Amino acid sequence: MNWYMIALGMACSAAAQTMLKVATRWTAWSISWIASMASAAALYGLSFALYSFILRRGALSRIGPAMTVGVAALVVVAGVLVFGERVSPRHGIGLALGAGAVVLLLS
């Protein structure tokens, strides 16, 4: 299994979601908005290509949950670091439970 490919796929998906959030800061159809949306689309495309490649080499039952929880965790980190969002204890517990579930699925 190429874990670095999984990590890159997760990073691309999380970056795409972050770029979509960045695009909301701009007026629709402005140059900045178009650039942000194009970046998000390109990152989603790359993420999809990597995910398709990864699935050829591994089990969906392991890769799917790992990528889903990994992307969720990265998006939460981006929300906190880039946008100053807060994470409630409830959300933190949810992420921890998701990570625990992935560990159990991968073992």
Query: What local confidence, expressed as pLDDT, does residue 25 receive?
Result: 95
- Tens of pLDDT, residue by residue over 35-94, are 999 999 999 999 999 999 999 988 998 899 999 999 999 999 999 999 999 999 999 999
d(C-alpha 11, C-alpha 107), whole Å: 23
- Tens of pLDDT, residue by residue over 91-104, are 999 999 999 998 99
The number of domains in the chain is 1
Domain boundaries, position 17: 3-106
Query: What local confidence, expressed as pLDDT, does residue 1 receive?
Result: 57
Residue 54, burial from CB neighbour count under 10 angstroms (0-12, 13-18, 19+): buried
pTM: 0.90
Query: What local confidence, expressed as pLDDT, does residue 106 receive?
Result: 84
